Structure 1
Amino acid sequence: MTDSPRSHGRLSISASVKPRELITPTPRIKGAWTARIITLFPEAFPGTLDLSLTGKALDQGLWALETIDLRPFGLGRHKNVDDTPAGGGAGMVLRPDVVAAALDQAAVGTPADRAQWPVVYLSPRGTRFDQAMARRWSQGSGLTLLCGRFEGVDQRVLDHYRVEEVSLGDFVLTGGEIAAQALIDATVRLIPRVLGNQASTEEESFSDGLLEHPQYTKPAVWEGREIPEILLSGHHGKIAAWRKAMAERLTKERRPDLWRAYRAAHGMDPMDDQEL
């Protein structure tokens, strides 16, 4: 007799206007950080969020993931959720009345304070997502993410509900589901106990405004390339200084924008930029 495959108790993909828990509700920890996703494709979740440490933390109830299927809020026999753009043009736009109904459902049981529970529309014209934003979100109670499709969402509903627009980067995807998984992953890993070693989140790229220093491991020599001698010295102070210097060098070379912001944040004169 073989062991049955691992099951997370996923719900069927039947239409529902209520948040659907993708993971069996036990043993969700009381007050666990929760992501609610409004999407036309709830079957896209949990996706990669079900893997590795984020998936394990999901099983343990350290955080929760729920979807709200946008389709049941659609109008008419065919549950239409979109219509043609006002003023003409290609594509379709998600209707404000349909999206509003989904946002109302997503708000049930959430705090009114947007600092505790942001409501976010994934949009290429939004504020660029970064580590500071992920850290801010991780310190709240949860997050509602609206995944757009087609040409986007009627601006009136975004304005009415004070929806924060956030971009994953300067490119366009067919929908917000992939971006939503990336944003959730970046946020969830900052929740205490998810990674197990909280120190690792304090030393990685962007945690102090710098790119991360290079990493090495065994063997000591590979293809004629050696691990930098300082890393084998056992002198923790010198190793820390080397890593910081390398992080500064890489940031200056590869991300001048981050380097300027880092110097400004640390009270350094940008006109007095020393060679690294």
Structure 2
Amino acid sequence: MRTKTVLPAVAMTAVSMVLTLAVVLLWLGTAVPWPVALVVGLGIDGGWLATLAYERRLAAQGDHSHTVTAVGWGFGLIATGVLVAHALTAETSTGAWLAVAWLPVAAKALWLVHGLWEQTALTAGALDAIQGIRQEARDEAAVARARLRSQAATEETRLSAVTQSGARVARVQASTAKTLSKAWATLESTRAGTETGRALTSVTAPVTPGVTRPWELPVWGPTEPVPALEGAQLTDAALDALVDEIRTSQTPALSYREMAARFRSAGHAASEVRLRSAWKRVA
């Protein structure tokens, strides 16, 4: 990699020095003796080459001198100025001479680029280590992305299965609730009917002696435990009177569920067994 930056700079410097010397000989050779023109040309090239060599020695030591750099650029600008002046005063090929007048400055710029490369250059081992670290980071990122995508797909599948199962359970519960509601309504209407109630009593009395209403429906729905109130409990007679009063407080008479809800909401306390027994006695 070093040769890729130093060879263009060396080639451009050599061409610029030869071109500067030739222009000085051609331009000043007509005005002064050619040995004088040769000395001037060699002086410009020699000063430029000396400052360049000094800059390279300082760079090899890890040092830098602004003065030497300024002097080197000064020689480069002088060479460029000589080429531009010759191109402007030439009777022929002015454009061609102007086209090559930038070579000294370009050579200095190439040496600047080479110096910057040397300041940031790394060994082959360091470059291999950096490449390995970057490759490892890319591998870890790729594995992490694949793991996240897999987890997302798994979670999506799980949520889809749970949602479908929940939907099926909800449909079954809704269907069961609808069926039970219809059955409840049929049984409730049958129980509440005068004629059907007598028919049920006449049918069930022979097989359930001593039970007045064995076909009475159970309590349907969730129940909440109610803490017992402090104080003396109601007697059976008082409980019967209270249940009958609540049941007949509305026409038609309230069902057991409605009566029990109003009984407890009024602040009365009685066990479910005693309350149902009182209902059976008054109903």
The answer to whether TM tops 0.5 is no
- Give 1 or 2: higher helix fraction: 2
The alignment's TM-score, normalised by the length of structure 1, stands at: 0.16
Q: Which is richer in strand? A: 1
> Which one has a bigger Cα radius of gyration?
2
